[in-house]
Structure 1
Amino acid sequence: MFEGPRGSWQKARKQRARRFGVNILAKLWIRSKQLRALKFSYLRIGSRSRPSQYKVLRDGQIRLLHLKPGHSMSTIQCDFSYVNLDSPGMYLALSYTWGRDPPPIPILVNGKATLVTDNLYLALLHFRKRGIKTLWVDFLCINQNDLAERASQVSLMRDVYCKADMVLVWLGESNALTARAFDELHGLAELVDFDNAIPTEYIRSSAVQDSERWRAISEVLYRPWFRRMWIIQEVLSARKGIVMCGQDIIELGLFLNIINSVHKADMLQQVLSYHPNRIELSDGPMRVSLGQLRFLLTAKFGSVNPLTLWKFNPTLLNFLAETRWAEATDSRDKVYGILSLARTEKKLGYWHRKSEKEKEWCPLTVDYGIPASDVFINVARAVISSTNSLDILRFSRYDASRPQHFPSWAPDWASSNPQIILGHNSLTTTSTNHGEPSWRPSETGTLSREITCLCSPYYSFRDKLTMTVKGIHIDTVFSISPFAHPVDSSIYPHQPDGSAPPDWMEQKQNYLNNVIKWIHDCVDQATKHCSPYPSASETTWTSLWALLNGIYGDEKVQMPKGPQEMLRDLDNVQKSFAALKPHLLAEQSGSLDPLLQIAVNVAVHHFGTCLGRLPESSTACQGKKFATTAGKFMGLVPEEARKGDLVCTVYGVEAPLILRECGDEKFHLIGYAQIQSLAFDDAVAQETFRAGARGAQKKRKEAQIATFERGKRVYTILKKTREFDLI
């Protein structure tokens, strides 16, 4: 069915196309709305007397689809069989994107006229041509109108893909670029070494010298399949697989080895930048495809410690965090699509209070009978209750347009604009001495360990919408920048041929001007409201520079002598770019003489030098506002924050949280903040003193922590806490 030696791929390609290619007329008629409607009416008349094609499934049972033979222009016909998943026999499982909704194309299932999507229809055409007979296809094998069955079957999907003899990854119809891409992929397959990788040096040199090869491969990587939420589960569960694009095929494991080689060479983003439509794709599709590919490859091949061979084994929160940009037709699938992969999946649940004295344990299960907001609430409660960690609150972000029944403390995993969460690392797990995950991975030193134990997460759920936490109101937002740090939409400055896209310079100049305006405002606020800085180890200027760079004490970063020097650097960058712009336009049009080309090269070098002196603010500050506090601290806060909001340290969350009182002693969680030089230990400790110091004897009784430092006992008194009711 899929045989053929790898080395003879290109020679056999035309023969394969003739053998497995689908008649062009079979693909053309589906474009006509009138023809589709006419055929559906005809098929429906002939199948009116037929009973429903769906019989009730027993526990542990699935349907399999059996494709009947036929020529390219004949109606696709298939029947169901019912098997136990414990012993299903031989079948293939389909991994694909649904396509247009509502489904427009009629086929016959158990003799009943059934509408399927165009992408599924084309896949079935190709499978029939190849003689594939037994399939599992979610759209057909699950009764989509029966919510209870849908929930039950989705819970089994990991096993469905795991027990399939092969997973068929259908990327859609082929075109000239994808045809070349598969030729190139099979050529690259010859270079895969004994370690299942292509040498990094070859990947890097090839990406520069043979852009047309990678341009073709980028067309494959931009297919909608790579942006799907479900691909993580389907690929990680597959024992074997085939990637199909029209009549072109490649083994899934081989394909992933090639793309992983590109990823390890740190060239994946550059390869995606070679696509002919990279400018249109650079914002949404590029970000999603790149993020999904990176996480899929990490989950498939990643080993955190090569010496211990500890495999990447993430929790549900890790999966949720890394798939926030993925696409799902149903928002609830942002959770259900990866629920069964989490290592703690069977333990996930929460306590539901039935009365003052009675509560029951509710396991987290797939349920399509509740709205997405309830799914996200249940997930938050389950992650918190099952892990005894409040780290999930870092992903919460206030949105005034949220419905009242969707509390601010529950993250919206279906948000169209998820934020980068600095400090959250999906690739590691920190444990306490007892082997339980620590809520505070960055703890170091005896005092920090003691504080971590004493400030462990405290929470309770008074009702479905109210979560009570314990913490300290440590400061208040005093001033805030009028706009958030801009997002750079000009991701790719160069075409594969080395030229710049027509509007790149305008985009870059607008972005640069907005960043400089934002930094000017930061300097102004920091100078007015944060002097002297309350940290003994930092000045106002060193704190600002560290905050803008997203660093904390990194001596390798070249820091200007003061804010005025940085502002002069900003001015130089603007002037350099303005002077460089007309020369770059002339270079792009090919109207430069050799002498001017030398001048342009010097100008580009000078511009790069100026850029190198600017703070690396894009990643750390993207989408954040700069704020100062009443206590003269500075930091980055969510875009929705405003003057008067509370800066709070909550037990169980290392980063400060921004809260806003909304009446009746209730609070909205606005989001998490980064406050420069205000570590968790400093925020919760009221006083630290040595034994023998004046007044130490009286205060010893108040101290909760006693440690040794340089042979002397040191006592720490923690600040008093209060409860916050979050809604």
Structure 2
Amino acid sequence: MSSPIYDQLCLPQKNRDIRLLRLFPGDWEHDIYGEIRVANMDESSYWALSYAWGGGQRLRTLSLNGTQVSVTANLESALRRLRAMKILDLWVDALCINQADTSERNHQVALMRDIYHRSEEVIVWLGEETLTSSDSPTGSVRDAFATLKHILDWSDSLSTQLKTLAIGLETLMGVPWWTRTWVVQEIVVAQKAQIVYGSTTLEWAELATYAKVLDNHLEKCCAKVFDNLSADEQTALYNFINPLLDIESLRSQLANGRPYLLDLLRKFRSRLASDKRDKVFAFLGLGNLSRQEPIKVDYTMTNCEVYQEAALGLIRDTSSLQVLMCGSEWQEGSQFPSWVPDWSAPIPYPGLLAARLRQVSSGLYQASKGKAPEISIYGEPALFHLTGIAVDRISRVGEIMRPFADRADYKIGEDVRDWQKVMPPSSQEYVGGCYSNIAAFKRTMFTDLFFEESRGASRRLDERDSISWGTWWRSNAQGFVNPNLDFDGVDETLETATAMRRFFVTDQGWMGLGPAATCADDHVFVLFGGETPFILRHVAENMEVDQSNFGKPSRFSLVGDCFVQGIMDGEILDDSAKCVQTVSLI
């Protein structure tokens, strides 16, 4: 329901006017009073609040312009703290935007990048101090801040400092702010930011510097001490470092141009949003489409419509099907088409990092030889039509490969040998090249890539790598990987390639790795615009893949992207026996 405050303070949608909150001074225990007014963003001095909205229940009331307004307990606490800090002119989304007016909301949300960028300072409200099990205020967070302030002076690796940090940082990073989607833009575009956690404050720039220095310590002088910490302590330290470094990396990208929207959607996919449409809208101010009409904030659209528009826009903008690699396991009856990533779906942790690395490395392949996607949407219900070439039907699949981190015994070789039982006779010539099936199988295990630790990136496999992966292979013939052996990136390469994937073989003998959902009778396709092949599943059992049935598309659901040894560089397009056909994805 719209508040009468907004009826009296309308915002024209053809200029850059915003509402600002003026907090009236008051003692800590007094009720909060304030005034909302209209101001021009470019001519005003104000602070912008970045916070987690908190629970859905509105538990507190404020008096604004003489009207009682309900807010969450977390926001009320923030305003009470900021009033005590004499920060009185604020932009707060929950109060300065009429959330009940969709048209105004669309307009103001589209301005949010500029609102935060032009503010005097962004106030990052992490919440009130909590009580520890020792019933004292969270001194561990203050201790952590105090320890961080001396980190530049560390000359020796001392386990006591790291343990103190781990305890405090676990509390600090456990507050909801770090999990929210919108705060990425709010902090990245800030010219200056201050963190407020209860009565404790710290400049964001300081905290970011501490994260970089701590990361350097853990990689170098403190590496041995770090290895001796408990798993929980190690996790706590990196749960502090990684989000800070991600934000600062994005800040550097923005300074040199706009990031790619798909990269933002993938990188921050695990963050949460109360409105699922914000999983896309929250990043449009940082990286939108460059060659197509930009995606607009529109809260009249459904979640599915927003995600579908984003997927289509990304495909057309990049002439690539890379966004199709971002879907999770699709279920029949889902509100989303199988080809549209559901950015709000929970992402299973096992294999998540490996999946991201595979997506980043997909540009090393050219399964469709750079051919632009030929796409259209029509029909009732609407179907997504693409062109491509059917490679073959999958006849056999192996078990799902568990991530290495789940294995205390390092017995990776057992699963690899189980996959070998699925492959065609090892001595026979492989269908996709002048080498044996066992040679093709080995290259499949690495997806024809090699991870270079020095660069933190993958490259295509070549003869330089034969010694490293040959040593790994001989070790696994004994049934285990010795953790004391240094395989120079082989372990990272293998895990990236295989974690939460299935090995499969097709009728003709093609070997590959596909999603965990891959089944026998699925079909491998090379779709125009795809850097990798894709696995598709018929929506009706009696349908056949017809190589010559161009113009009469078969209906499929998208299972996901895959690797197939021997067709990753467009070889299938040179096969005169293969015909281009149209397929329709539900």
State the one-letter code of the partner of 2:344: A
**Contact (CA 8 Å) 2:469, 2:487: kept in 1 or not?**
no
Q: 5 Å matches for 1:125-274? A: 125-174=80-129, 175-188=138-151, 206=157, 210-215=161-166, 216-263=168-215, 267=219
Q: Distance in 2 between matches of 1:151 and 1:557?
A: 58
Whether 2:331 is the aligned partner of 1:400: answer yes
Partner of 2:279: 334
Please say if residues 530 and 634 of structure 1, whose CA atoms lie closer than 8 Å, have aligned partners that are also in contact: no
In the other structure, the counterpart of 1:666 is 555
1:524 to 407, 421, 431: 421
Q: Does 1:69 align with 2:48?
A: no
Q: Classify 1:242/1:421 alpha carbon distance in 2 versus 1 (closer, same or farther; 3 Å).
A: closer
Q: Closer, same or farther in 2 for the Cα pair 1:64/1:348, shift >3 Å?
A: farther
> Quick check: 1:461–1:468 contact (8 Å CA) kept in 2?
yes
Q: 1:614 to 1:470 in 2, by over 3 A?
A: closer
Matched to 1:132, the amino acid is I
Which residue number in structure 2 is paired with residue 379 of structure 1?
310
Corresponding letter in the other structure for 1:633: W
Residue type matched to 1:81 in 2?
R
Q: Is residue 365 of structure 2 the alignment partner of residue 413 of structure 1?
A: no
1:555 aligned to which of 436, 458, 465: 465
Q: Which runs of no fewer than 5 residues in structure 1 stay unpaired?
A: 1-49, 192-201, 304-309, 350-362, 427-439, 491-506, 574-605, 688-717
- Kindly provide the CA deviation profile for residues 234-267 of structure 1, in whole angstroms up to 9, marking residues without a partner as x: 1221111112212222222222222233446675
Q: What SS does the aligned partner of 1:467 have?
A: strand
Query: Which amino acid in structure 2 is aligned with residue 385 of structure 1?
Result: R
CA distance in 1, matches of 2:157, 2:566: 45
Report the counterpart of residue 685 of structure 1 in structure 2. 574
Among 424, 428, 441, the alignment partner of 2:359 is: 424
User: 1:648, 1:286 → 2: CA distance?
Assistant: 43
Residues 334-362 of structure 1: per-residue CA shift (max 9 Å, x gap): 101111111536x544xxxxxxxxxxxxx
Separation in 2 of the partners of 1:668 and 1:532?
A: 33
SS at match of 2:74: helix
1:517 is displaced (CA, Å) by 5.0
Rate the CA distance shift 1:525–1:114 in 2: closer, same or farther, 3 A. Answer: same
Equivalent position SS for 1:558: helix
Residue equivalent to 1:495: none
AA in 2 matched with 1:300: R
Are the counterparts in 1 of residues 289 and 313 from structure 2 also a CA contact under 8 Å?
Answer: no
Q: Distance in 1 between matches of 2:489 and 2:179?
A: 36
Indicate the SS of the match to 1:543: helix
Q: How far apart, in 2, do the equivalents of 1:670 and 1:71 lie? A: 60
For residue 123 of structure 1, report the CA deviation from its aligned partner.
Answer: 1.4
Corresponding position of 1:429: none
Contact kept? 1:178, 1:245, Cα under 8 Å: no
Paired residues of 1:166 and 1:239 also in contact (CA < 8 A): yes
For residue 313 of structure 1, give the secondary structure of its aligned residue in structure 2: coil
CA 1:154/1:277 → structure 2, altered by over 3 Å: closer, same or farther? farther
**How far off is 1:615 after superposition?**
5.2
Kept in 1: contact 2:33–2:62 (CA 8 A): yes
Q: Distance in 1 between matches of 2:339 and 2:417?
A: 33
Name the CA distance, whole Å, in 2 between partners of 1:660 and 1:249.
54
AA matched with 1:508: A
- Please report the TM-score for the alignment, with normalisation by the length of structure 1: 0.66
- RMSD between superposed Cα atoms in Å: 3.7
Paired residue type of 2:522: D
Q: Find the aligned partners of 1:559 and 1:97 in 2 and give their Cα distance.
A: 47
Distance change >3 Å, CA 682–CA 291, structure 1 → 2: farther
Q: Structure 2 vs 1, CA of residues 615 and 264 (structure 1 numbering), >3 Å: closer, same or farther?
A: closer
Unaligned regions of 5+ residues in structure 2, if any?
130-137, 450-460, 544-553
Matched, 1:301 2:252: yes
Partner residue, 1:119:
74
Query: Using a 3 Å threshold, how does the CA distance of structure 1 residues 557 and 145 change in structure 2: closer, same or farther?
Result: farther
Of the three residues 446, 456, 476, the one matched with 1:566 is: 476
AA aligned opposite 1:608: N
- Percent of paired sites with the same residue: 25
Paired residues of 2:389 and 2:525 also in contact (CA < 8 A): yes
1:470 aligns with 2:387: yes
Q: Which has the higher helix share?
A: 1
TM-score by length of 2: 0.81
- Cα deviation, residue 539, structure 1: 3.3
- Deviation track 1:71-93 (CA, whole Å, cap 9, x = no partner) reads 12111222201112232x11000
Q: Is residue 46–residue 120 contact of structure 2 (8 Å, CA) maintained in 1? A: yes
Change (3 A) 1:488 1:725: same
Aligned match of 1:80: 36
Q: Give the drift of 1:137.
A: 1.0
Structure 1 contact 288–326 (Cα < 8 Å) conserved: no
What's the CA shift for 1:611?
9.5
Distance 1:281 1:211 in 2: 9
Query: How far apart, in 2, do the equivalents of 1:323 and 1:267 lie?
Result: 24
Which residue does the alignment assign to 1:700?
Answer: none
Distance in 2 (CA, whole Å) between partners of 1:75 and 1:135 is: 18
* Larger CA Rg, structure 1 vs 2: 1
* 2:512–2:564 Cα contact (<8 Å) kept: yes
Please name the residue that 1:628 is paired with. Answer: 505
Distance (Å, rounded) in 1 between the aligned partners of 2:78 and 2:389: 58
Distance 1:291 1:686, change over 3 A: farther
Which letter does structure 1 place at the counterpart of 2:312? R
Partners of 2:533 and 2:428 lie apart in 1 by 22
One of 54, 58, 63 as aligned partner of 2:12: 58
**Does the alignment pair 1:655 with 2:532?**
yes
Counterpart residue number, 1:540: 437
State whether residues 163 and 233 of structure 2, in contact with CA within 8 Å, keep that contact through their aligned partners in structure 1: no
User: Which piece of structure 1 moves more, 103-112 or 289-298?
Assistant: 289-298
The match for 1:31 is none
1:410 CA displacement: 1.0
Q: 1:632 to 1:51 in 2, by over 3 A?
A: closer
Could you tell me whether the CA contact under 8 Å between 2:533 and 2:562 is conserved in 1? yes
Change (3 A) 1:105 1:611: farther
Q: How far off is 1:534 after superposition?
A: 2.6
Distance 1:411 1:392 in 2: 8
Residue pairs, 1:81-96, within 5 angstroms: 81-87=37-43, 89-96=44-51
